[in-house]
């Protein structure tokens, strides 16, 4: 496959003012007619006229009305064109019903829908399918489907047709079309300048009762973006459509967002609190793209973090405002460490702005998205809130309607703050996670912290700019120096705090102010002190996490008993009624076995998945036994006696109650869980209880009842598939996953169902890493099968092998053999070829 390089960027030779498209829908033979006016671009280098096009049957092509016979290749169309402006017309035929890759125009449950990001538009018609070509679109859809939608504002409609016009110039990746038998949940929003916007969530008949939360979240997002960023919506309508077969979470097409149904449909009976929170965040994310992504888009796909990093940052601010900022930050860091750190530290490592790729779909990664958002958080921390707001205003003013680069983004900050960001820009180009070590000195009332940074595995890494938020606590636990952001720019650098009466205890990297690994040799008693007193909620949680990791590490490597002192300190926090229950639930959660494997590997110890599982189990048993006297009472105090509400107040209580139930199950064999399951009137309680029963091995009857109750609900049945594999004992995980693939409802071509089984298998750490290689083999078998239908989802799933070099020689050999088996498969897709090559490289 061909490698594309950032440095090879050249602008397209023509501009397009307006695109006219007509779709004549038919499952096996849809006709797409396009009429496009091309004008020479004055500053572009001379080039051949080439339009992307894949899997298209060309029926007719014409220039200025005269038929032509262009040269066709699997990648597109080439032909001679006039020197000046001209009108280019094509008619092509495509087969949406045969499109299992879910890219371009495809069908899901009889409904037509599209997914064009990143390069799917070229599977619909011949076009310069690159984000820097922006045009207005006028679309006519002909077909018998009762609902026919596209981007922008509705135009005329009548017997068998509907027209749409999008007045905002956009790249083709934001094009969308949906047609089918759909019903809508309506809403409305009045913008800050008094414009009425019609809102709709379109779903399959029967799903109407699952739209209220999505609508509430959309309205909250629109209001928030006006209030916090001054951004107003710009069309008469905003449509959202729920689709069952979808490769990712959702897509921000202009005025017509398309959502994986799992990311928009919700009801208390069928969705957990976590589902509600995720839906709220994804609706916000896609809506926020209207300004950060659509009005201002990317010049090329190397600039993906320009829209994704910023939009993730914006959606995390939104969730912080809607819920608890502390709990949100802790959740984000858990996620970053679980998904981005392994990427940054393994064979898939790449900069936030990659410099080359073969298949761009493989770069929709945690590094581009989540580390990209961390970089923006650091920039804001360095320049301050007011300067950030000013810079964003300038960004929107200066670049509205443009396709931009990271250079444009940083120039806005440089120009508005006067700050030189040359060194900061390294965050976009240097891969790897910096490690930050720290030593302390105390003399005559002055406390000095000396930091050193290095990035393992990256010999050429230059020092990064690190905003290190630090506060100091006095010996009695009072804060003697409030949070101050130290700006580290060198490899080694000292910062002094003077005028102190006694040697303080430092609280370093508060709020996880930079995405680094903090290496700090401190005593357990100092960590316990921070756990008890730190005023920074993140660092309080972090102190607990450090102690939990140390405890598990000692249990695994030295065979010690669980750490009594730590469990005593943790008990204080968990039982402290003045603290947010959601925070207390996070404190109770142990590091996952995958996180422990990462931690051990970083410390030069080869992780043994079986030993990690055994240690986690024995620590949980010890917690349950030690706290048996109060677990039940505290759980009872978490009961919610009010109608279900997915907000932070109730969901925090349910999260704490759920964590306590998991411990109680270790004492009562599942009696309390069974009672909760039987009485549950919402999915959070029902699924939480079922998970406990699976863990206890007493789930048989409950599982059958659950399936009986929810047989007709695809999204709930995904949970049924997932839970059995994720929560079962490791020795059963692969066998259970394999058995589920023979279940009549295992629709493996549906990405949600495939992920429910195999994503869960990968999450069952010791189960996936079964010593005999059963887990690896089963997954590889199915990846080989799925690749023929859906390369994008297959390639994404390959990343579960990214940590393969962490493990012992025998497991490494087994994983390597499966990757080689995948690589050797004749006809392997470009997507998976690139992933496997990088994984093995």
Q: Least distance in Å: CB of 645 to ligand HT7?
A: 27
**In 3D, which of 676, 701, 671 has the Cα closest to residue 687?**
676
Q: Least distance in Å: CB of 232 to ligand HT7?
A: 20
Stretch that binds Zn ion, among 94-102, 305-313, 325-333, 480-488 (CB under 5 A): 305-313
Residues 6+ apart with CB under 8 A from 772: none
142 Rama class: left (phi>0) / alpha (psi -120 to 50) / beta = beta
Answer with the entry of Zn ion, ligand HT7, none that 123 interacts with (C-beta below 5 to 8 A by kind). none
Write each residue from 296 to 325 as x if it is in contact with ligand HT7 (CB under 6 A), else as -, in one continuous string: ------------x-----------------
Task: Tell me which residues in 112-141 interact with ligand HT7 (CB under 6 A).
Answer: 115, 117-118
Q: Alpha-carbon distance 772 to 477, whole Å?
A: 51
- What is the torsional sign of CA 771, 777, 778, 783? positive
Q: Alpha-carbon distance 804 to 799, whole Å?
A: 10
The enclosing H or E element of 333 equals helix 325-335
Q: Least distance in Å: CB of 285 to ligand HT7?
A: 6
* For Zn ion, the closer CB: 290 or 311: 311
Question: Is residue 166 at the binding interface for ligand HT7, with CB under 6 A as the rule?
Answer: no
* For Zn ion, the closer CB: 90 or 290: 290
Answer for the pair 793, 786: CB distance below 8 angstroms, yes or no: yes
Stretch that binds ligand HT7, among 155-163, 248-256, 506-514, 563-571 (CB under 6 A): 248-256
Answer with the entry of ligand HT7, Zn ion, none that 117 interacts with (C-beta below 5 to 8 A by kind). ligand HT7
Active-site residue 286, yes or no? yes
Answer for the pair 778, 786: CB distance below 8 angstroms, yes or no: no
Answer with the entry of Zn ion, ligand HT7, none that 266 interacts with (C-beta below 5 to 8 A by kind). none
Task: Give exposure, 209-232, as e/b (b: 16+ Cβ within 10 Å).
Answer: ebbebbbbbbbbbbebbbeebebe
Question: Is residue 252 at the binding interface for ligand HT7, with CB under 6 A as the rule?
Answer: yes
Q: Alpha-carbon distance 748 to 33, whole Å?
A: 34
Q: Alpha-carbon distance 274 to 266, whole Å?
A: 11
Stretch that binds ligand HT7, among 285-293, 316-324, 694-702, 722-730 (CB under 6 A): 285-293
Q: In terms of DSSP bridges, do strands 57-63 and 66-67 run parallel, antiparallel, or are they unpaired? A: antiparallel
Tokens of 828: 């392997």
Answer for the pair 545, 561: CB distance below 8 angstroms, yes or no: no
- Which of 89, 145, 252, 286 is an active site residue? 286
* For Zn ion, the closer CB: 239 or 528: 239
* For Zn ion, the closer CB: 299 or 714: 299
Stretch that binds Zn ion, among 41-49, 304-312, 601-609, 710-718 (CB under 5 A): 304-312
DSSP letter for 65, please: T
* For ligand HT7, the closer CB: 168 or 364: 364
Tokens of 41: 């671009």
Three-state DSSP class for 296?
A: strand
Q: Least distance in Å: CB of 308 to ligand HT7?
A: 5
Among the listed residues 122, 170, 210, 285, the single contact to ligand HT7 using CB under 6 A: 285
Task: Tell me which residues in 354-383 interact with ligand HT7 (CB under 6 A).
Answer: 364
Question: Is residue 248 at the binding interface for ligand HT7, with CB under 6 A as the rule?
Answer: yes
Stretch that binds Zn ion, among 223-231, 302-310, 561-569, 749-757 (CB under 5 A): 302-310
Q: Give the long-range contacts of residues 821-824, CB within 8 A, separation 24 or more.
A: 821/780, 821/784, 822/780, 822/783, 822/784, 822/798
Task: Tell me which residues in 310-329 interact with Zn ion (CB under 5 A).
Answer: 311
* For ligand HT7, the closer CB: 166 or 286: 286
The enclosing H or E element of 751 equals helix 751-763
* For ligand HT7, the closer CB: 89 or 119: 119
| Interacting residues with Zn ion (CB under 5 A) | 308, 311
Write out the catalytic residue numbers.
286
Footprint of ligand HT7 (CB under 6 A): 115, 117-118, 247-248, 250-252, 285-286, 289, 308, 364
């Amino acid at each position: 496959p061909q490698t594309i390089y950032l440095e090879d960027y050249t602008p397209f030779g023509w501009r397009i003012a307006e695109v006219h498209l007509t779709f004549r829908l038919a499952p096996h033979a849809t006709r797409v007619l396009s009429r496009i006016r091309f004008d020479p671009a004055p500053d572009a280098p001379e080039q051949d006229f080439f339009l992307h096009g894949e899997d298209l049957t060309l029926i007719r092509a014409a220039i200025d009305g005269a038929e032509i016979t262009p040269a066709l290749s699997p990648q597109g169309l080439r032909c001679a064109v006039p020197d000046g402006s001209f009108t280019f017309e094509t008619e092509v035929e495509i087969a949406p019903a045969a499109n299992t890759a879910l890219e371009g125009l495809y069908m899901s449950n009889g409904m037509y829908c599209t997914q064009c990001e990143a390069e799917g538009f070229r599977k619909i018609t011949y076009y310069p399918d690159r984000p820097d070509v922006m045009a207005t679109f006028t679309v006519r859809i002909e077909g018998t489907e009762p609902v026919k939608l596209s981007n922008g504002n509705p135009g005329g409609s009548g017997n068998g047709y509907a027209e749409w016009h999008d007045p905002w110039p956009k790249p083709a990746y934001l094009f969308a079309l949906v047609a089918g038998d759909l019903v809508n949940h309506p809403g409305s929003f009045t913008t800050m300048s008094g414009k009425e916007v019609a809102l709709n969530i379109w779903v399959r008949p029967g799903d109407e009762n699952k739209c209220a939360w999505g609508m509430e979240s959309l309205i909250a997002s629109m209001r928030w973006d006006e209030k916090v960023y001054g951004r107003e919506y710009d069309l008469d309508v905003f449509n959202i459509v729920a689709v069952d077969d979808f490769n990712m979470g959702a897509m921000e097409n202009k005025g017509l967002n398309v959502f994986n149904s799992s990311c928009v449909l919700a009801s208390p009976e069928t969705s957990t609190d976590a589902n509600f929170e995720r839906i709220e965040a994804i609706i916000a994310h896609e809506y926020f793209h209207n300004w950060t992504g659509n009005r201002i888009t990317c010049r090329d796909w190397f600039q993906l973090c320009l829209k994704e990093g910023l939009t993730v940052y914006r959606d995390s601010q939104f969730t912080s405002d809607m819920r608890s900022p502390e709990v949100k930050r802790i959740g984000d860091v858990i996620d970053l460490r679980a998904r981005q750190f392994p990427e940054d530290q393994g064979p898939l490592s790449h900069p936030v702005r990659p410099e080359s790729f073969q298949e761009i779909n493989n770069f929709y990664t945690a590094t581009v998205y989540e580390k990209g958002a961390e970089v923006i958080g650091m920039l804001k921390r360095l320049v301050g809130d007011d300067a950030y707001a000013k810079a964003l205003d300038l960004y929107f003013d200066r670049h509205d309607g443009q396709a931009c680069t990271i250079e444009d983004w940083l120039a806005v900050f440089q120009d508005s703050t006067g700050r030189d960001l040359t060194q900061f820009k390294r965050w976009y180009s240097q891969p790897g996670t910096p490690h930050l070590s720290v030593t302390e000195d105390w003399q005559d009332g002055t406390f000095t912290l000396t930091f050193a940074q290095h990035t393992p595995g990256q010999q050429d890494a230059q020092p990064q700019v690190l905003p290190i938020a630090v506060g100091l606590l006095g010996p009695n636990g009072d804060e003697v120096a409030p949070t101050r952001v130290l700006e580290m720019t060198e490899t080694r650098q000292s910062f002094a705090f003077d005028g102190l009466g006694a040697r303080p205890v430092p609280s370093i990297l508060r709020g996880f102010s930079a995405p680094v690994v903090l290496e700090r040799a401190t005593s357990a008693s100092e960590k316990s002190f921070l756990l008890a007193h730190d005023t920074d909620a993140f660092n309080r949680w972090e102190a607990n996490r450090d102690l939990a990791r140390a405890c598990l590490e000692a249990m695994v490597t030295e065979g010690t008993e669980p750490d009594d002192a730590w469990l005593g300190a943790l008990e204080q926090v968990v039982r402290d009624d003045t603290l947010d229950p959601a925070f207390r639930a996070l404190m109770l959660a142990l590091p996952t076995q995958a996180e422990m494997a990462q931690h051990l590997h970083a410390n030069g110890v080869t992780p043994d998945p079986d030993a990690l599982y055994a240690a986690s189990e024995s620590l949980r048993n010890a917690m349950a036994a030690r706290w048996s006297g109060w677990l039940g009472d505290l759980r009872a105090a978490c009961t919610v006696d009010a109608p279900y509400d997915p907000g932070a107040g109730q969901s925090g209580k349910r999260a704490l109650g759920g964590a306590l139930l998991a411990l109680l199950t270790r004492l009562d064999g599942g009696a309390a869980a069974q009672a909760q399951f039987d009485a549950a009137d919402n999915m959070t309680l029902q699924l939480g209880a079922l998970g406990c029963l699976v863990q206890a091995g007493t789930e048989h009857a409950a599982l059958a009842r659950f399936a009986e109750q929810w047989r007709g609900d695809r999204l709930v049945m995904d949970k049924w598939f997932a839970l059995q594999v994720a929560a079962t004992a490791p020795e059963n995980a692969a066998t259970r996953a394999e058995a589920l693939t023979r279940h009549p409802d295992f629709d493996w071509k549906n990405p949600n169902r495939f992920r429910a089984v195999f994503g869960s298998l990968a999450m069952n750490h010791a189960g996936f890493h079964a010593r005999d290689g059963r887990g690896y083999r089963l997954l590889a078998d199915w990846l080989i099968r799925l690749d023929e239908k859906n390369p994008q989802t297959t390639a994404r799933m390959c990343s579960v092998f990214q940590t393969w070099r962490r493990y012992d020689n025998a497991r490494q050999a087994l994983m390597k053999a499966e990757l080689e088996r995948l690589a050797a498969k004749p006809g392997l897709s470009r997507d998976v070829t690139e992933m496997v090559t990088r994984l093995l490289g």
